[in-house]
Amino acid sequence: MKPAINKKIIVIAHRGAAGYAPENTMASFQLAIEMKADFLELDIQLTKDGQLVVIHDTEVDRTSNGRGKVLDFTMAQLSELDAGSWFNAKFEGERMPTLSEVFDLCKGKIGILIEIKAPWLYPGIEQKLAEELRAHGMLDEDPASIIVQSFDQSSVKRFSAIMPQVLVGLLVYQSEDVTAEKLQETVVYADYVNPSLNLVTKSFIDTIHALGKKTTPWTVRSAAEVPPLLDLNVDGIITDYPDYVK
């Protein structure tokens, strides 16, 4: 049986505290913990040698001093790249972490919202994620501390079939994804429907709640965006600035 979903407004640190530190790095994750966010949000992909690495883009160019596709690097090669200087010189030497390293940092301290990126590039990534979760005992203490999401509904379904006890979410960004009819289909397998901010309306929130599901919109980058979301009774807020949500 899946865990009950917490009723409080959850603060989800997008790629860590990405407004203050380079996204998807240990510095960003540690800062989110210090800011007392409820969850980290992070992105996973597979390296050439089958390791789960935490990075958003399918290429390393934007967030490191490297060039090329993630899947063409081994984890050892990715670890040699500087993933911090692009953000600020004081973060020089920050590395792309493995998911295992993030689990070691976060277990028992903060929940983790894991996005499976571009799963069509990485056959078997859902099974690999399940194995990592088991190996680190991430569900032993609090099963609700892990949520897995993707824009790819097939990936969400595959993961849920492997680990049905874990809460899962579908990311959406198009208006056709949040019609009443489409939401009826989505909530058959998803516990969360997490939309971009432009899709958030009272009607959407009310429909999600009427269907017994939850929603955590993304991505808040302005303090002014917070009060309207709270007024709409969202279940959580995904933000680059965890301290914006009081």
Q: Which two tokens stand for residue 118?
A: 């571009």
The reported pLDDT for the residue numbered 93 is: 96
pLDDT tens across 102-137, in order? Answer: 999 999 999 999 999 999 999 999 999 999 999 999
Please say if the pLDDT value at position 3 is more than 80: no
Catalytic residue among 14, 15, 117, 213: 14
Neighbours of 143 (CB within 10 A): 16
pLDDT tens across 12-46, in order? Answer: 999 999 999 999 999 999 999 999 999 999 999 99
| Structural domain spans, the chain | 10-244
Whether 14 sits among the annotated catalytic residues: the reply is: yes
Q: Which two tokens stand for residue 13?
A: 């640190």
DSSP run (H or E) holding 168: strand 167-172
Report the alpha-carbon distance of residue 138 to residue 114 in Å, rounded: 12
Note the CATH number of domain 10-244: 3.20.20.190
Catalytic residue among 13, 21, 56, 115: 56
The reported pLDDT for the residue numbered 233 is: 96
The reported pLDDT for the residue numbered 240 is: 98
pLDDT tens across 164-209, in order? Answer: 999 999 999 999 999 999 999 999 999 999 999 999 999 999 999 9
**Angle CA(134)–CA(27)–CA(123) in degrees, nearest 5?**
40
Mean pLDDT value of segment 54-73: 98
Q: Which residue's structure tokens are 């571009």?
A: 118
